[in-house]
């Protein structure tokens, strides 16, 4: 039996049977919005991994590829368009072997190190602190620095903070000046360790809680800089880690991280291909993406016991789809293609995070260029925008907007492939089917309402009606309606055909008597505004 569910956002759905397009309905209460969707949910992540930094962002000032002081001009321009609020660096696993002093001073004098985590390649440190922080300035993003807890020391970390942020007369501040930067940088987001349960030190929760308390004590605020301290949280179902950190160190943190990678295949040993995968792997990818709501909900429940005032942010600072590496590439470089399926997983994940805006206020998709679910792919002088890039561009309408709650009645699509997504996850999503519609509705500071709506059905057009209550809206905002789709669930952009998947005008929308009706093609995303 179908039933109407009250939801905070668009990602809680009714249980349905056969897909009947006319039964997809959403009532939006535009006068009841209380939560703000933080722009920082739309952050990026660039690690020293594969071709993410080198060849992706940085080619050096002497490169033949057009560049601005060593930064690829095409990549810079593309990333500026996304209005990226924050970007995380230098890792990831790389962070807990990184000594910041390796990346300062004349580039020719910087030491070469082995990147033991990602392919065993030589890291020449030509992209260091100054290069990263200038990059963040060029794209208009706040830097998110990950400190070395695994192999570093509190003193090393503290010196780095002083080097970057102190405006007075000290040895380290003057060293920064000698290296070309007079004024201190503003550093807000500061991660104390990364995946400390794994590549960041294989620590127990109790041990890391003590390490966090120690290190954060020496994460000092210099001049007028104020750090937002982020503890290394758990991944997916490791709720005990969150419990321990909240119990032992909640008063000393501003945020705790959570990592979740969507794996469409059988698990870590076989994540599934990123190309030519067909409908079953599409379905399993979407279903795996839905698990994010379960993980956030349960980690929030733990956090609420220790922090009912919601002062500690849940930071999803690594997320995205992870597939097998592309054939012929270094497996340590984590290069994969990016399809319309991946774009819809990104949209679904953003909808889920938006719906948890009471706790989730910071997130970083992995990663920005050439690695995992990248925004941009490069090949020599060539560059293309991925379908996921277009999702982030379409979702800019939600940056710092008010999340509008409502009621949703959404059908589910079922297949013979219903089985546990990954064997270790015995969760509610073992129920049949996936919702055919996912969405976010928000209102900006000018009172305009924006909707991003995905049709997750792989084969059928879906009709969905939004009834807007509690606000006077008269028409569709001119030029706002855009559609992102592909000719198949595994449609991709290639360097030979870089615009196969890109937004185009959407015309199957009608607004009448306070109701917006959309007819959305299969496996597609729509953004539309009302005024």
Measured CA to CA, the distance from residue 257 to residue 354 in angstroms comes to 16
Task: Give the burial class of 18: count Cβ atoms within 10 A of its Cβ; 0-12 exposed, 13-18 middle, 19 or more buried.
Answer: exposed
Task: Dig out the tokens for 499 from the structure.
Answer: 């615009």
Task: Dig out the tokens for 8 from the structure.
Answer: 């905070």
Helix (H) or strand (E) holding 521: none
Domain with CATH 2.60.40.1180 in the chain: 5-35+404-530
CA dist list (Å): 251 to 172, 192, 342? 30, 15, 37
Measured CA to CA, the distance from residue 350 to residue 359 in angstroms comes to 14
Q: What is the DSSP string of 360-389?
A: EEEEEEE-SBSSSS-SEEEETTEEEE-HHH
Please identify every residue annotated as catalytic: 195, 318
> Is residue 525 within 8 Å of residue 453, measured between CB atoms?
yes
Mean pLDDT, each 10-residue run in order, the chain (531 residues): 32 36 84 97 98 97 96 98 98 97 97 95 98 98 98 98 98 98 98 97 97 98 98 94 98 98 92 95 94 96 97 98 96 97 98 98 98 98 98 98 95 78 49 90 97 97 96 94 97 97 96 95 98 95
Residue 324's nearest CA partner among 380, 382, 285, 283 is 285
Domain with CATH 3.20.20.80 in the chain: 38-399
Q: Which residue has the tokens 């849940």?
A: 314
Residues 6+ apart with CB under 8 A from 412: 13, 14, 15, 16, 17, 19, 432, 433, 434, 435, 436
Q: What is the reported pLDDT for 418? A: 67
Measured CA to CA, the distance from residue 45 to residue 255 in angstroms comes to 17
Q: What is the reported pLDDT for 20? A: 41
- The secondary structure of residue 395, as a DSSP letter, is G
* The CATH number of domain 38-399 is 3.20.20.80: yes
Q: What is the reported pLDDT for 294? A: 94
Residue 192's nearest CA partner among 145, 237, 235 is 145
Residues 6+ apart with CB under 8 A from 58: 70, 71, 72, 126, 127, 131, 135
Q: How much is the pTM?
A: 0.93
* CATH architecture, domain 5-35+404-530: Sandwich (2.60)
**Beta bridge partners of residue 438, listed in sequence order:** 454
- b vs e for 135-169, b when ≥16 Cβ sit within 10 Å of the residue's Cβ? bbebbebbbbbbbbbbebebebbbbbbbbbbbeee
Q: What is the reported pLDDT for 430? A: 54
Q: What is the reported pLDDT for 417? A: 73
- The secondary structure of residue 94, as a DSSP letter, is G
3-state SS of 212-267 is: HHHHHHCCCCCCCCCCEEEEEEEECCCHHHHHHHHHHHHHHCCEEEEEEEECCCCE
């Amino acid at each position: 039996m179908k039933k109407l569910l009250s939801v905070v956002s668009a990602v809680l759905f009714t249980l349905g049977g056969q897909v009947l397009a006319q039964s997809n309905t959403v009532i939006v209460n535009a006068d009841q919005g209380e939560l703000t969707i933080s722009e920082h949910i739309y952050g990026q992540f660039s690690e020293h991994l594969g071709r993410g930094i080198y060849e992706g962002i940085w080619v050096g000032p002497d490169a033949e590829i057009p560049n601005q002081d060593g930064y690829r001009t095409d990549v810079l321009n593309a990333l500026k368009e996304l209005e990226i609020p924050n970007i995380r660096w230098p890792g990831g696993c790389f962070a807990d072997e990184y000594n910041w002093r390796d990346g300062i001073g004349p580039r020719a004098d910087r030491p070469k190190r082995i990147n033991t985590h990602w392919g065993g390649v030589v890291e020449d440190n030509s992209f260091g602190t100054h290069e990263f922080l200038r990059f963040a300035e060029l794209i208009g993003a706040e830097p998110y620095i990950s400190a070395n807890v695994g192999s570093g020391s509190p003193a090393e970390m503290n010196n780095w903070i002083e080097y970057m942020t102190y405006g007075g007369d000290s040895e380290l501040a003057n060293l920064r000046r000698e290296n070309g930067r007079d004024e201190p940088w503003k550093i807000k987001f500061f991660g104390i360790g990364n995946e400390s349960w794994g590549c960041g030190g294989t620590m127990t929760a109790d041990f890391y809680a003590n390490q966090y308390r120690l290190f954060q004590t020496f994460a000092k605020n210099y001049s007028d800089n104020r750090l937002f301290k982020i503890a290394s949280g758990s991944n997916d179902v490791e709720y005990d880690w969150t419990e321990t950190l909240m119990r032992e160190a909640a008063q000393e943190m501003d945020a705790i991280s959570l990592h979740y990678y969507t794996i469409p295949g059988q698990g870590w040993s076989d994540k599934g291909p990123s190309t030519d995968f067909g409908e079953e792997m599409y379905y399993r990818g979407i279903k795996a993406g839905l698990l994010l709501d379960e993980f956030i909900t349960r980690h929030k429940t733990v956090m609420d016991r220790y922090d009912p005032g919601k002062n500690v942010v849940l930071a999803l600072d690594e997320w995205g789809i992870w597939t097998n590496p592309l054939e012929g590439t270094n497996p340590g470089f984590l290069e994969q293609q990016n399809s319309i399926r991946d774009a819809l997983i990104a949209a679904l994940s953003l909808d889920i995070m938006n719906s948890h805006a009471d706790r989730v206020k910071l997130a970083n998709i992995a990663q920005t260029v050439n690695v995992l679910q990248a925004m941009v792919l490069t090949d020599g002088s060539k560059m293309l925008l991925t379908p996921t890039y277009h999702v982030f561009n379409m979702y800019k309408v939600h940056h710092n907007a008010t999340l509008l709650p409502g009621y949703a009645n959404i059908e589910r699509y079922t297949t013979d492939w219903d089985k546990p997504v990954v064997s270790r996850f015995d969760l509610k999503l073992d129920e049949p089917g996936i919702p055919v519609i996912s969405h976010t509705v928000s209102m900006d500071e000018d009172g305009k309402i924006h909707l991003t709506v995905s049709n997750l059905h792989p084969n059928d057009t879906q009709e969905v009606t939004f009834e807007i209550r509690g606000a006077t809206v008269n028409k569709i905002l001119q030029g706002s309606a855009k559609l992102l789709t592909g000719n198949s669930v595994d449609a991709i952009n290639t360097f030979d055909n870089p615009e196969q998947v890109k937004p185009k005008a959407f015309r199957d929308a009608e607004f009448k008597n306070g109701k917006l009706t959309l007819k959305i093609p299969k496996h597609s995303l729509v953004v539309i505004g009302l005024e």
